């Protein structure tokens, strides 16, 4: 059996779909469907069971036999809103929940692969998995960082600083791709640019700020298909544990994303306005000044040293595959 928490979310549902493609349907999806629209993400997936996240963690606490015969836990479930400032909710949902599940997996010897975030770097200019570079700017980033810290400290309590079973944290950079529609304002810029072009033929980017020219803020944009591949690779390589950056290692600008979306529509546009789309720059929002990462680029040295050798999609490759899917299914 395989457990995917956040299995109806963005990355989780892509893991489930890929597992299906590999012949695995013995999957328990754990999530919170208070927003029922998320069911679309798994409506084309085959699973063995669905459990509400609160019911699941309660059952794990009172009787961990639920985890008997579990091959792996992909823990993707979290509140991922960087604009959520309810710290009590965030720490309960992202930190305490993750701790409970971690200990249960260690007791059962189950590989535990969990979602961390590049937001732990926040105000840093160096994106390397070291304490001195970790400076979260919001409570979401703090909740992810504090769990990484807990994992590091707990690891030191075991002989030779080694967990008895696999524990891997992935610091996701700017992930984009299929099955993110439910994220709304937190969905990727590729998603929003596509919608803007379909609506009025113009995609809007932030103007200049903090020394960056208009649209030249840079991020490490990583396609969700690559994120899934890395997760599954680690599962198949159980001797590899640790906290790893998961990005391409090569940042690209927001202009590059917009240009890729515009190029796709120029070649596949279904209307005159989308086929002749353009960019427009808007003033940088005041409320984001001082709390916005204008540059991210994953140092993936540890990932490569662990043995992962596959190449990552660049922005144009990922955007073209994404828009083929997005506009083909309009999801």
Taking residues 192-219, what's their average pLDDT? Answer: 95
Q: Which residues pair with 222 in a beta bridge?
A: 175
The percent of residues above 90 in pLDDT, for the chain, comes to 84
| pLDDT over 90 (residue 54) | yes
* Catalytic residue chosen out of the listed positions 183, 204, 250, 273: 183
pLDDT, tens digit, 9 for 90 and up, residues 29-39: 999 999 888 99
| Contact present, 14 and 179 (Cβ < 8 Å) | yes
Q: Quote the CATH superfamily of domain 2-176+224-250+297-313.
A: NAD(P)-binding Rossmann-like Domain (3.40.50.720)
> Mean pLDDT score of the chain, rounded to an integer?
94
pLDDT on residue 331: 43
| pLDDT over 60 (residue 197) | yes
- Is 140 labeled as catalytic in the residue annotation? yes
Where does the pLDDT of residue 329 fall: very low under 50, low under 70, confident under 90, or very high at 90 and above?
A: low
Q: Which residues pair with 167 in a beta bridge?
A: 112
Question: Alpha-carbon Rg of the chain, whole angstroms?
Answer: 20
Q: Lowest-confidence range among 44-53, 157-166, 220-229, 271-280?
A: 271-280
Taking residues 130-156, what's their average pLDDT? Answer: 95
Q: What share of the chain is helix, strand, coil (3-state, %, to 5)?
A: 45, 15, 35
Higher pLDDT, 90 or 150: 150
List all residues 6 or more positions away from 225 whose beta carbon is below 8 Å from its beta carbon. Answer: 14, 177, 313, 318, 321
Higher pLDDT, 211 or 168: 168
Buried b / exposed e over 17-28, threshold 16 CB at 10 Å, is bbbbeeebeebb
| pLDDT over 80 (residue 285) | yes
* Catalytic residue chosen out of the listed positions 140, 142, 172, 313: 140
pLDDT on residue 210: 85
- Domain range summary for the chain, segments of one domain joined by +: 2-176+224-250+297-313
Q: Which residues pair with 260 in a beta bridge?
A: none
Can you give the length of the chain in residues? Answer: 331
Q: Which residue has the tokens 């299995």?
A: 7
């Amino acid at each position: 059996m395989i457990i995917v928490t956040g299995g109806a979310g963005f990355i989780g549902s892509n893991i489930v779909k890929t597992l299906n493609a590999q012949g695995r349907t013995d999957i328990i999806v754990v999530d919170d469907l208070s927003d029922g629209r998320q069911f679309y993400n798994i409506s084309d997936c085959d699973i063995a069971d669905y459990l509400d996240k609160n019911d699941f963690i309660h059952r794990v606490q009172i009787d961990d036999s639920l985890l008997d015969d579990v091959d792996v836990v992909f823990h993707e479930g979290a509140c991922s809103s960087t604009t959520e400032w309810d710290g009590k909710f965030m720490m309960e949902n992202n930190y305490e929940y993750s701790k409970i599940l971690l200990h249960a997996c260690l007791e059962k010897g189950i590989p535990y692969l969990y979602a961390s975030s590049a937001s732990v770097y926040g105000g840093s200019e160096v994106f390397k998995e070291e304490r001195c570079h970790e400076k979260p700017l919001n409570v979401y980033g703090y909740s992810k960082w504090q769990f990484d810290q807990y994992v590091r400290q707990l690891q030191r309590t075991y002989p030779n600083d080694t967990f008895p079973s696999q524990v891997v944290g992935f610091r996701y950079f700017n992930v984009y791709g299929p099955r993110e529609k439910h994220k709304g304002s937190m969905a990727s810029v590729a998603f929003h640019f596509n919608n803007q072009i379909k609506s009025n033929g113009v995609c809007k980017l932030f103007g200049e700020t903090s020394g960056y020219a208009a649209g030249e803020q840079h991020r490490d944009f990583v396609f969700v298909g690559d994120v899934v591949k890395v997760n599954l690779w680690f599962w198949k390589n159980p001797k590899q544990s640790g906290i790893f950056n998961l990005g391409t290692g090569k940042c690209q600008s927001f202009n590059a994303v917009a240009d890729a979306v515009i190029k796709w529509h120029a070649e596949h546009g279904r209307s005159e306005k989308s086929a002749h789309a353009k960019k427009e720059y808007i003033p940088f929002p005041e409320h984001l000044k001082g709390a916005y990462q204008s540059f991210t680029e994953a140092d993936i040295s540890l990932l490569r040293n662990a043995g992962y050798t596959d190449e990552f999609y660049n922005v144009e490759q990922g955007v073209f595959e994404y828009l083929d899917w997005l506009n083909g299914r309009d999801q």
